[in-house]
Copies of this chain bind each other. A is one copy, B any other.
Amino acid sequence: MGRWEPNPRGRLAKAAVELFVAQGFEQTTGAQIAARAGMHERSFFRLFPDKREVFFQALETAQREAMAAIVDAPEDTAPIDAVAAALEQRCAVIQQHPGAALTRHGLIAANAELRERDLSKHAEFATGMAEALRERGTPEPAATLAADTAMGVFRIAFDRWIGEPEHQDLPTLFRDGLSELASILVHRAGTARRSR
């Protein structure tokens, strides 16, 4: 046994979310989180760059998984299909824990700082997917266009799903979103003047 309890990051994250749920994000201080995890405030800020980050560890893991899925997709898969498959997989995972998603979404929606960070993390997620596409040969700007767009559709699908998580299928919302977007873009007046 070490001198201190194991898994300090995990303990801090757990303590933080418990406190955020109980009394709100703003009302929870770094010192309180640290104390609940049995450590010093200073250790909290050494392990997490700021108070918001505690919330987004899972997203980074999800990003790595998505990137791996994209890189490992069959060679003949179109870029948009590779990212769509990765995000559809994520839809399925999220749908398995509607309660957790709801709690998380509630906390994020209630706080402007967390909303901003959420946006920023999802942008990073999209950037990672674009990088994965490039690794498999997709050129720019196609890689970024596909990744950012798929992420955008995912977020729209998620926002619709979270309203009634029990009565809608998230992967279907996502797929239908992509289809609807395709038809929106195709029926546009600019279609003819592709290169000028």
Contact = CB atoms under 8 A, between A and B. Distances in A.
Nearest to A117: B116
Contacts of A123: 119
Contact of A148 (B77, B84, B152): B152
Interface string A176-196: 111111101111111101111
B119 A184 contact: no
A156 interface: yes
Contact of A184 (B79, B172, B188): B79
Given A156-B141, A184-B79, A184-B80, A178 B190 contact: yes
Contact of A145 (B80, B153, B187): B153
Give the oligomeric copy count: 2
Q: Which of A77, A148, A182, A187: most chain B Cβ within 10 A?
A: A182
Interface in A81-117: 81, 84, 115-117
Contact of A149 (B78, B142, B185, B194): B185
A136 interface: no
A175 B190 contact: yes
Q: Which of A80, A117, A190, A196: most chain B Cβ within 10 A?
A: A190
A146 interface: yes
A120 interface: yes
Given A77-B189, A149-B184, A181-B185, 18 more contacts: A78-B189, A80-B188, A84-B188, A116-B117, A119-B119, A119-B120, A141-B156, A141-B160, A141-B180, A142-B184, A145-B156, A146-B184, A148-B155, A148-B156, A149-B149, A152-B152, A178-B190, A185-B186
State the 4 A-B residue pairs at the shortest beta-carbon distance, nearest first: A182-B185, A179-B194, A80-B188, A148-B152
